Structure 1
Amino acid sequence: MQQTPQKLFELFDQGTEILQAALRSSYLDAMLENAENVIDGRVAVEDGVPDKKTVEQLEKLYQEMHLKDAPAETIRQVLQLSFLKVIRKDAIQANHQMTPDTIGFLMAFLIEKISKLDRPSTIFDPAVGTGNLLTTIINQLQQASAEPIHGYGIDNDPAMLEVASASVALQGLDVDLFHQDAINALDIPECDLAVADLPIGYYPLDQNTKNYKTRAQKGHSYVHHLLIEQAMNYLRPGGFGVFLVPSNLFQTKEAQPFIQWMHSVGYLQGLINLPAELFANQNAQKAILLLQRHGGKSKQAGKVLLGEFPSFKKPQEFSAFMQEIDQWVQTNLN
């Protein structure tokens, strides 16, 4: 009998708490050790730690917990709940927090709609973090087709990549992870699709941006501009980039050169604001940007997809908006 995500989380979390006490570590380190034990099928012991009694306790718990037998999406949810507890217990800084499921599912929905025309077999995320967004999208696309998807994730934070590594291993997904600054040259092939919940702010290493068209003429450049440019560099002709960006992306002082660069490499196919209720204030609101690289079968949509997702509290309006997106894909991208 399959266990629910909540039941699996409770059992997995017990293992993390037991290990945190035994190892006297941060909650994150205990969670990662717990995940490694489940992946390896045994409790790792180093210099007598954890002790025999704790090992027996964990082995009994792992026999009760059927995490490796669960569907990939259930495993992703368990690890997401675990990381949310890590954030609370270890007071993780804001830029390490993961993309919420509400946003991940909206991005996955949009990608699923455009992918019906040309299903991606390779996907990459230049700001992969814990891997929550990338694996949400891969799982969503895999539900519609048994064809395997190969993923690539890049991040310069080793702790976040450890979480991503445990996540993809437990989910059994085919994802290569790279520990590096994504502004530098990437060791990945051209991919069918790029996705990212982009970090917002300034990129401090000006010498790394010399070859970027989106770099600022004075001072530091916006990191989200640079990462969008980099992502488009690694898309195959006609491939889509789907990015979570600030809603005011085209209203800043750096917007004009960014727009000029964007038109030189691809087509702006859509910019959809996320529901305002997801954000504490209007300035923090984000949108999903839909770019398509020139070439292949790509063409500028007759009508750019603009608007705002309705409130989740208005299911009829939300459903009608989803149907509008369906219609837009059929009319503008076919």
Structure 2
Amino acid sequence: MLENFENIIDHGQVQVEDGLPKDDVVKKLQDIYSQLPIDQITGETWRQLVQLSFLKVIRKDAIQANHQMTPDTIGLLMAFLIEKVTAHQDIQTIFDPAVGTANLLTTVMHQLSLANHHQLTGFGIDNDDSMLAVASVNVELQKLQVSLYHQDAINALDIPQCDLVVSDLPIGYYPLDKNVANYQTRAEKGHSYVHHLLIEQAMNYLQPGGFGVFLVPSDLFQTKESQSFVKWIQSVAYLQGLINLPSELFANKNAQKSILLLQRHGGKSQQAVKVLLGEFPSFKDRTKFAAFMQEINQWVATNIVK
């Protein structure tokens, strides 16, 4: 998959290494590439093509759960929410500390570019070179301005403070206890939750008044570490919302995810009078879904400082 996309990026020229692919395969590939309207395909269409191709890879190669990509249903909901809450902010830069294939990052970038009428600059971090390889062709095909870094996002990052953070966070424990000695969200005993650590790190690289929008476990505030985690949140940010995704998206109720909405202290930010809580209705019930979207519009209008 990656070789094909790299060939397409190279204007349909097939890269041959160590005599492979053979001449007959090269000709076959070039014939296929020549039929593609490469210069006419939009960035959003390229994103969808990469996504569909990767989904086929996942099924065929039985790829592990951590290598899945954020589904469009979730990515578009997050993009919708972000567009609403940042409508009165000038978003120029966006950061994902667990960028993976960059499907979520680029979904949000496209949505905000349409709303703001200018291209954003993105930054993505991941410690998995396979995922970053997919992210690299993804952003290059889409012609997006995204800098990708292969590193552990828990360590110091060489990026500027950004206007917005968005991330589908990995869930589990972070094994390198020495690396988190300076983190406020570290566990008192044993390994710390990696999603807690990444949220703290992300807020460090967020401009005052900026939003961090994270895909998190729905039981985020029901664990033994939640009390100290909430205390840390209150010290640096306003907890503006927690919305459960439709339960129908998850075969196992214990795997249900939510969208966490944090706003860093500073700028014009202030705590919402009413925290945005609830659950997206089923996609199948269009009336209830549209009504819930309208509730979000109303909440933004009355709770987010313009």
Normalising by the smaller structure, the TM-score range is: over 0.9
Q: Shift in Å at residue 60 of structure 1?
A: 1.1
Q: Does 1:190 align with 2:161?
A: yes
CA distance in 2 between partners of 1:317 and 1:67 (Å): 40
- Three-state SS of the structure 1 residue aligned to 2:15 is coil
Partner of 1:35: 5
Show CA shifts across 1:44-68 (max 9, x none): 1123221222111111111101234
Q: Shift in Å at residue 284 of structure 1?
A: 1.0
Aligned residues: 304
Partner of 2:225: 254
Q: Shift in Å at residue 145 of structure 1?
A: 3.0
CA distance in 1 between partners of 2:47 and 2:90 (Å): 22
CA distance in 2 between partners of 1:52 and 1:96 (Å): 33
Q: Does 1:204 align with 2:186?
A: no
- Of stretches 268-277 and 87-96 in structure 1, the one that deviates more from structure 2 is 87-96
CA distance in 2 between partners of 1:321 and 1:269 (Å): 17
- Three-state SS of the structure 1 residue aligned to 2:40 is coil
CA distance in 2 between partners of 1:262 and 1:304 (Å): 14
Show CA shifts across 1:132-173 (max 9, x none): 000010011112232120000000000000000000000000
Alignment of 1:62-73 (within 5 A): 62-73=33-44
Show CA shifts across 1:242-265 (max 9, x none): 000011111110000000000000
Q: Shift in Å at residue 209 of structure 1?
A: 0.4
Partner of 2:121: 150
Q: Aligned partner of 1:180: which letter? A: Q
Alignment of 1:4-153 (within 5 A): 31-41=1-11, 42-153=13-124
CA distance in 1 between partners of 2:87 and 2:231 (Å): 30
Q: Shift in Å at residue 119 of structure 1?
A: 3.3
Percent of paired sites with the same residue: 70
Q: Shift in Å at residue 227 of structure 1?
A: 0.3
Show CA shifts across 1:174-214 (max 9, x none): 00000000000011000000000000110000000000000
Q: 2:190 aligns with which of 191, 206, 219?
A: 219
- Of stretches 91-100 and 64-73 in structure 1, the one that deviates more from structure 2 is 64-73
- Three-state SS of the structure 2 residue aligned to 1:124 is strand
CA distance in 2 between partners of 1:68 and 1:133 (Å): 24
Query: For the Cα contact (< 8 Å) 1:157–1:179, is it kept in 2?
Result: yes
Show CA shifts across 1:98-127 (max 9, x none): 001100000000001012111311000000
- Three-state SS of the structure 2 residue aligned to 1:295 is coil
Q: Shift in Å at residue 308 of structure 1?
A: 0.4
What value does the CA root-mean-square deviation take over the aligned residues? 0.8
Partner of 1:22: none
Q: Aligned partner of 1:179: which letter? A: H
Partner of 2:208: 237
CA distance in 2 between partners of 1:193 and 1:183 (Å): 18
- Three-state SS of the structure 2 residue aligned to 1:184 is coil
Q: Aligned partner of 2:10: which letter? A: D
Query: For the Cα contact (< 8 Å) 1:245–1:286, is it kept in 2?
Result: yes
- Three-state SS of the structure 2 residue aligned to 1:236 is strand
After TM superposition, what 4+ stretches of structure 1 lie above 6 angstroms from structure 2? none
CA distance in 1 between partners of 2:270 and 2:71 (Å): 32
Q: Aligned partner of 2:109: which letter? A: I
Show CA shifts across 1:14-39 (max 9, x none): xxxxxxxxxxxxxxxxx111011000
CA distance in 2 between partners of 1:46 and 1:129 (Å): 27
- Of stretches 116-125 and 174-183 in structure 1, the one that deviates more from structure 2 is 116-125
Q: Aligned partner of 2:57: which letter? A: V
CA distance in 2 between partners of 1:135 and 1:67 (Å): 19
- Three-state SS of the structure 1 residue aligned to 2:56 is helix
CA distance in 2 between partners of 1:276 and 1:148 (Å): 34
Partner of 1:297: 268
Query: For the Cα contact (< 8 Å) 1:67–1:75, is it kept in 2?
Result: no
- Three-state SS of the structure 2 residue aligned to 1:231 is helix
Show CA shifts across 1:224-283 (max 9, x none): 000000000000000000000011111110000000000000000000000011111221
Partner of 1:171: 142
